[in-house]
Amino acid sequence: MPKYNIPLRVRNLVKKYGTANPIFIARMLNIHIRYVDTPAQVNGFWLKILRRKFIFVNANLAEWQSNAVVAHELAHIILHPHYRLFSLEGRSYYSKTSHEDEANRFSAELLQYMDVDKCFTMAFLEHGWHSENTKSPAL
């Protein structure tokens, strides 16, 4: 299994698109984003439907959390396009695999360019959504 230089991958992506905004990057890659009502423990997931890529995000998340989820799913699309393992551990489709760890690191690295501290992104992605986590990490 390949090991990725996540900081370099993210830096190159930011340089290529001129932004670290994962929603804008997804649009540039022709990936559709949909905000949907999901159970609280499901933050998001991505699917390929009729050769189109979609990222589905829990509509109840705060903006920074939605960005973290989009960046996480974007990492799967870019780094692991054939990864299809879903596991539910009392939160979003979270599995303690190297693919999930890489996607979490990718998301944290990308959001750091948007002034969201890595520790907030990693804690959110690793421990799931809780109503007290909906405040901006800058507060």
- Strand 52-58 with 31-36, pairing: parallel
Whether 43 and 123 have beta carbons less than 8 Å apart is answered as: no
User: What is the domain partition of the chain in residue ranges?
Assistant: 6-127
Question: Under the phi-then-psi rule, with left for phi > 0, alpha for psi from -120 to 50, and beta for the rest, what region is 130?
Answer: beta
Q: CB atoms < 10 A from the CB of 138, how many?
A: 9
Per residue in 1-19, pLDDT tens? 557 899 999 999 999 999 9
Q: Give 123 or 55, the one with higher predicted confidence.
A: 55
Each residue's pLDDT tens digit, 20-55 = 999 999 999 999 999 999 887 788 998 889 999 999
φ, ψ for residue 57, nearest 5 deg: -125, 140
The pTM of the full predicted model, rounded to 2 decimals, is 0.81
Which CATH architecture does the domain made up of 6-127 adopt?
Orthogonal Bundle (1.10)
